Amino acid sequence: AWGLGTFVGIPPLALFTLSFAERWDAIRHDLELFFALGNRKRLKARLLAEGERLAGEVERLAEEYRPKLDASVAR
């Protein structure tokens, strides 16, 4: 009787354990991401500042190379 009970009980327990482990991995990943990035407001502000910095850099490079491009097109 014990053997039959064990044989019948092990597969559902194994599936439950697998499901729990997968959920825990997803929760752990979400927690790591949350603490790495901080809250969304701070992340949004940081990304906007970085975008403005990059846009300024692109504008500076465009101004630097525009005369060279205009001269090469005029030839």
Output the pLDDT for position 57.
Answer: 97
Predicted model pTM:
0.44
pLDDT in tens, 29-69: 988 888 877 777 887 888 999 999 999 999 999 999 888 87
Q: Which amino acid is at 46?
A: R
pLDDT in tens, 6-37: 888 899 999 999 998 999 999 999 888 888 77
| Largest Cα–Cα separation, the chain | 95
Say which residues have a Cβ less than 8 Å from residue 43's Cβ, sequence separation at least 6.
37
Say which residues have a Cβ less than 8 Å from residue 37's Cβ, sequence separation at least 6.
43
* DSSP letter assigned to residue 1: -
